[in-house]
Structures are given as C-alpha cells and as structure tokens.
Structure 1
Amino acid sequence: MLRESGGGNREVVGVAVGQAGVQIAGALWELLCLEHGIQAADGAKLDDSPFDVGAVDPCFWETSKGKMVPRAVLTDLEPSVVDGMKRYFPDLFHPDCMYTYKEDAASNFARGRFMVGRSALEGAMDSIRRQAEACSALQGFVFTHSFGGGTGSGFMTLLLERLAQDYPSVTILRFCVFPSPRMSTAVVEPYNSVLHAAATMDNDHCAFVFDNEATFNLCVNKLEIERPTYHDLNTRVAQVIASATASLRFPGKLNVDMADFSTNLVPSRRLHFPVMTYAPVVPPDVIRYHQQSVCDMTTDSFDPSAQMATYGQENGKYMPCCLIYRGDVTHSEALTALNAVTDKSSIQFVEWCPKKFKVGISSTRPSVPNGKYPITLPRSVCTFANTTALKDSWIKLGAKFKAMFEKRAFVHWYTGAGLEEGEFCDAQESLAQLIQDYKDAEGETDVPDDDLEM
C-alpha cells in the first residue's frame, strides 16, 4: 500500500563519536545544509536556494532569530577534531552539543570502555539528552563512528548501553567504518573491532558498514579523483545517510521510517550488519549531462564496483534489501527495476526470505556538493543490503585477531586498562558464532513467490 509522506515532526538526532565519526558528520551536515537551503557557516536561511528545502524540523531546530541549528552531538575523548569542526562551522552547531574530554583512548578499546570513557560518559550523555528532550516526537538516533578506533569502539559501547536504558523504544542506526583489508590506521584495529562487535552483538539495530579501501576505489574508478581525501570518502557516506533520512525530510509516495530498516533488514538479532551502495556515481563535470534509467541505476547499485565495503559478492547470497529512491522515479519503474535485479543470475538471494525488497521513494532530487555551485541529480538510489558474503570480511578480520592474540601482541595494553584476557577468548567465540550464523542463513527453504514489498 502506498503511503504519502510529507516529512516533519519526526526528529532525528545525529551523534558523531570519535575522530572518524566527527569527520563524517562534518560532510553530512554540510550536505544537509545544502539540501535545506541553510548556510553551513552560521545556520542562516538562504533566500535564493535552488533546491526544495523540504521540512527542516527532523534535523534542525530554529532559534528566535531564525538561525537553524543541527540536532547533533559531536563527541570525542580528545578535543582536536571537534575543535576543527568549530573552525570549519564557526556558528552552526550549538556549543553545548560539542562535547570533548581531556584524554583520548589511544586506539585502545579498553581505555575507551573502562578508563577514559567512563569518566566522559555522563558529559556526553548530557549533551545527547538535551537534544533528545528538545524533540517533540523523537524518531531515533543516527550514529557515525569507527569500529577500529578506541573511542569509536570502546566508548561507543558505553553510549549504546546507556541509550538502551534511557531510550529503550527509540530506533538507532549506526554508520560504521569497518577495517579495510589493506588500509589500516592502527595495528590493533582487529582487537578493537572484534571486541566492539562482541560487546554489541545482541543489539538488533542496524549497523551499516563500509570501509575506506572500497570507498577509496569508488572515488578513483567512478569519480576519477586521482588522490581522494578523507573528505571525498566522507561525502560518499554523507550521501547515503542523507538518503536514509530522506523520507523524514521530504515528501514522497513510499515512506521508509527509521524503524523500517531494522524491521526489514535484520532477519535475526546478530545479523545486523548491512552494506550500502549509492548510484549513480559520476564525475562532477558530467553530472549535468548524465541520464540513466531507473532500471540501469538499480542494477548498477548491485554491481561490485559500486560497493562501499570490501566483500566478494559471488561468495554469498543477499538477504533482505532496502532501496531508497530519490528524484524522478515512479512506483512502476521501481517495481520493473527490482524484477530485473532478481532475474540476473549473478545476483542470488536466500530462498527463505519472503520479502526481498523494501522500497522508499522521495520525490525531491538529491543534491551534489560541487564547490560554489552545487547541482542536483535527476534521480538516485541508495541500496542497503544484508548479505551473507560479508562473512568473508569477518573471517579475515578474525584471522588477524587470532594471529595477534596467539602471540599476546599488545594484550598488556588492554589488560592494563581493565580488560580481562578471557574477554578476548569470549570475543573470538562470539565472532565464530556470527560467521556460523551467516553460513546457516545461506540454507534454502521453500517460500512464497511474492517477494516484493512496495
């Protein structure tokens, strides 16, 4: 059944945790300001915005002087990255919502969870509560963070545990930097990532994963950027997050609430790590001339070259998928495109899933930052897919974890910060069970033929 959505009155609070999370948030709020006709430097409304500004209530609140302020919290255990956001956005964010502590986690899960994180927890939660209590109908929280950093892994677990106590019925979506196979910022990323995953494994909210290597390759091969920066990578992620919240901010014929992601993408509590793609991805100098049908665009979103996470598509099967269309897309075009996807022999789905697709359509065109003169695409699609192929990434990560732990490399830094050595073994067992869950999900059973939910 089609549902008309007008956006508004369903607020979303964005929470950025750690260096990676805060930097992604910078690109995200720059894009959201662009889409809603707001000046990113000071939150002033632009009278000459070329875009449909939609409903600003879900992501911004307005001061008595007409200034728009993001519903956001930027938090890190050390101040340098958040201070950089203050310089880049001098008058956009409310000062009370930029919380930092005096000591970082030193890329150590245990320091972020047991030592420094516990001291900083109440201050960060106070900032989050202020934003949540200012909402009339809180839809949920959108987190950005990294699995591999000390703050994004350890401190993030504390925040999730406290939010589960204080806001048990509120939806949480997480957009997480997953460790790359060949690109790493810290040698202990496998420890931090597996320990974090084990500590949050029983949460049933979605943790959308991407990695720098796949997103870097996307920028090089698709956007023809010779040397992509982190801002280039973060802008790709920002487009995905903007699509995920488009139904709340703009009118459309098919609505997808935040709760729909968990309902449709998480078949069992532990399998809550969907991957994401965005299409079309074209260089800025040809966007104005780019024309692509809905069917071709949808097919491209399942192409391995469009992946934002490194995994072998051919080594697994898709479980439920959620596609968010924006722009000039009709219901019948989306249905035709999805039928074409299911007919491709290279794209396999598990047989036990009765509803392969959840679809949202927002009529407002997506915006693309392009220097002084931003432009819009005629249409776009963002695909969130849960796939058993991701087990290969977990297997490789587990192998790195095991190789280090067998030699007890760097373990003393974790045990000295309050982590018991037995928790390493528990995390390994949890990861092994997750991998087995993926393998079990590839089993086949008879299901009805009706596999499209529109």
Structure 2
Amino acid sequence: DTVVEPYNCTLALSELIEFTDETVCIDNEALYDICYRTLKLTTPTYGDLNHLVSATMSGITTCLRFPGQLNADLRKLAVNMVPFPRLHFFVPGFVPLTSRGSMCYRALTVPELTLQMFDAKNMMTACDPRHGRYLTVAAIFRGRMSMKEVDEQMLNIQNKNSPYLADWIPHNVKTAVCDIPPRGLKMSATFLGNTTAIQEIFRRVSEQFTSMFRRKAFLHWYTGEGMDEMEFTEA
C-alpha cells in the first residue's frame, strides 16, 4: 500500500476512461480483505495477492486458450458487457477461493458456484454491489458440467437477484463454459460484473486525491520526474 496510490490511480483513470475498451478493476483493499477473512491468512504476501489476481485473470482469458462448449473471447465480452463506451469498468470475482498451495477438498456443485459467484465477499473490488445495480454480468465456468444445469442455475440466480439487475437491458447475463478446469480444482467460475456500485471506488479515490492535492503532498516526487502540476488538475 503506497501513500501516493490516489495520485497514481487518478492519473491512470483519466486515460483508462478515454482509451480502453474494457477495464477489469482489481483493488488491493479487496484482495487483502479476501486474504484475511476468507483465506484466514494472518500475514498475506504479494505472492498471495498475485495468486488471487492470476486465478481471476486466467479465468477471464480461459476461452482464448482452451476449447469449450460455449466460448466468449474478449471482443465478445466487450460487445456484451459495455452498454455505453465509458461504462467499461468491471468488478471481477472468482470461486472457489483457495490460498496458495492448498487444495479445495470439497468438490463444489454448479448451484454452489453460481450462488457464491454473486457474493460480495468473493469480489476483487472493494465496493458493495448491493449499493448499485448490475448493468451487465458475464459468468465463465470451467470444468466438466452440463450446459443445461448452468443455464438453469443462472436463470434461478437472475430471478433471485432481479432487483439488482438493470431492467432496461434485456438478456444482460452472459454465460461461457470451458471444459478444462484450473489445476487442482474440479470446477470453478469467474465472474465479471458491470455495476453502478463501482462509483464507490472512484469516489473514495477522488476524495483521497483531493485531500492530498490540496496540500500538494508528495507532489515533488512527480514534478521532479518532469511532470507538470496541470496534468494532475486535468486528470
């Protein structure tokens, strides 16, 4: 956790809003929370955090690398997930969460995967999806499972969570199934949500940025490297 995180984040965000097609937001705070609460690690290392990040990101790109019954590449994701060009910031999640080197001893079922997938505890961004609405959702399942069961469970969870799903976008939950599970697991699921609750992060970063920038705290590190104060104001 660096002191200048709000600066770095704000400078990056101003570019990400304009120039990227899809952005997966992974938050240090949420990763530490998962390590402490879910994985019960007392002193998580960067290795533990990276393990969570790699599990999630490899889940998102799994369809590019392996065969599956229903594949979704990144372009298809962008088409299905982004209702307006600037709303391309996704909240990722992964189930089942296991710590590095440990195995998941109990094989999860498809209903359990879908239920856990929508749980805020498994999200890698420190915002509560219950405080907003999902515009779109993508679920990528891995392992040997029946498409019929996946579709049934996804429909079931959509009905259960209907207050949290935007009703003006029809068919806003997309599913992909890849036959090859991750190493050490029978089946897993990766979640991507485009939710309005992500504004909580932007608001938090913006407040931290303002309070630091007002006092010009740590600004000399950046100006010393050739940056201009106007770049911060602009961002």
Q: TM-score, normalised by structure 2?
A: 0.91
Q: Displacement, 1:282?
A: 4.2
Structure 1 ranges of 4+ moved more than 6 A: none
Which residue number in structure 1 is paired with residue 44 of structure 2?
A: 228
Task: Kindly report which structure 2 residues correspond to 1:197-276, keeping only aligned pairs within 5 A, or say none.
Answer: 197-276=13-92
Which residue number in structure 2 is paired with residue 120 of structure 1?
A: none
In 2, Cα distance between the equivalents of 1:306 and 1:213? Answer: 13
Which residue number in structure 2 is paired with residue 366 of structure 1?
A: 182
Pick closer, same or farther for the CA change 1:342–1:336 going to 2, 3 Å.
same
In 2, Cα distance between the equivalents of 1:220 and 1:411? Answer: 33
Give SS of 1:253's match. strand
Which residue number in structure 2 is paired with residue 409 of structure 1?
A: 217
Q: How many residues align?
A: 234
Task: Kindly report which structure 2 residues correspond to 1:274-423, keeping only aligned pairs within 5 A, or say none.
Answer: 274-282=90-98, 287-288=104-105, 290-345=106-161, 348-367=164-183, 376-423=184-231
In 2, Cα distance between the equivalents of 1:232 and 1:347? Answer: 35
> Is residue 95–residue 122 contact of structure 2 (8 Å, CA) maintained in 1?
yes
Q: Displacement, 1:204?
A: 3.7
In 2, Cα distance between the equivalents of 1:425 and 1:285? Answer: 46
In 2, Cα distance between the equivalents of 1:248 and 1:395? Answer: 34
Q: Displacement, 1:409?
A: 2.2
Question: Given the alignment, which residue of 6, 12, 15 partners 1:196?
Answer: 12
Q: Displacement, 1:313?
A: 1.8
In 1, Cα distance between the equivalents of 2:102 and 2:213? Answer: 49
Q: Displacement, 1:210?
A: 1.2
In 1, Cα distance between the equivalents of 2:29 and 2:218? Answer: 25
In 1, Cα distance between the equivalents of 2:96 and 2:173? Answer: 19
Q: Displacement, 1:218?
A: 1.5
> Is residue 103–residue 185 contact of structure 2 (8 Å, CA) maintained in 1?
no
In 1, Cα distance between the equivalents of 2:54 and 2:221? Answer: 34
> Is residue 215–residue 233 contact of structure 1 (8 Å, CA) maintained in 2?
yes
Structure 1 unmatched runs, 5+: 1-183, 368-375, 428-454
In 2, Cα distance between the equivalents of 1:401 and 1:212? Answer: 17
Q: Please tell me the residue identity of whatever aligns with 1:251.
A: P
In 2, Cα distance between the equivalents of 1:221 and 1:409? Answer: 33
Identity of aligned residues (%): 33
Q: Displacement, 1:285?
A: 5.6
Give SS of 1:274's match. strand
Task: Kindly report which structure 2 residues correspond to 1:26-37, keeping only aligned pairs within 5 A, or say none.
Answer: none
Q: Displacement, 1:380?
A: 0.7
Q: Displacement, 1:346?
A: 8.0
In 1, Cα distance between the equivalents of 2:102 and 2:45? Answer: 18
Pick closer, same or farther for the CA change 1:286–1:188 going to 2, 3 Å.
closer
1:425 maps onto 2:233 in alignment: yes
> Is residue 204–residue 262 contact of structure 1 (8 Å, CA) maintained in 2?
no
Q: Displacement, 1:400?
A: 0.9
Give SS of 1:202's match. helix
In 2, Cα distance between the equivalents of 1:377 and 1:231? Answer: 20
Structure 2 unmatched runs, 5+: none
Q: Displacement, 1:236?
A: 1.3
In 2, Cα distance between the equivalents of 1:228 and 1:219? Answer: 6
Q: Displacement, 1:389?
A: 0.4
In 1, Cα distance between the equivalents of 2:39 and 2:61? Answer: 24
Q: Displacement, 1:260?
A: 1.6
> Is residue 295–residue 336 contact of structure 1 (8 Å, CA) maintained in 2?
no
Q: Displacement, 1:301?
A: 1.0
In 2, Cα distance between the equivalents of 1:418 and 1:209? Answer: 28
Bigger Rg, which one: 1
In 1, Cα distance between the equivalents of 2:51 and 2:188? Answer: 15
> Is residue 325–residue 382 contact of structure 1 (8 Å, CA) maintained in 2?
yes
Q: Please tell me the residue identity of whatever aligns with 2:150.
A: A
Q: CA RMSD in A?
A: 2.0
Give SS of 1:200's match. helix
Which residue number in structure 2 is paired with residue 111 of structure 1?
A: none
Pick closer, same or farther for the CA change 1:238–1:334 going to 2, 3 Å.
same
Q: Displacement, 1:220?
A: 2.9
In 1, Cα distance between the equivalents of 2:232 and 2:130? Answer: 31
Q: Please tell me the residue identity of whatever aligns with 1:205.
A: D
- Per-residue deviation, residues 224-256 of structure 1 (Å, max 9, x unmatched): 333221111111111112212222222211011
Give SS of 2:135's match. strand
In 2, Cα distance between the equivalents of 1:277 and 1:389? Answer: 15
Q: Displacement, 1:416?
A: 4.2
In 2, Cα distance between the equivalents of 1:346 and 1:280? Answer: 24
In 2, Cα distance between the equivalents of 1:415 and 1:215? Answer: 31
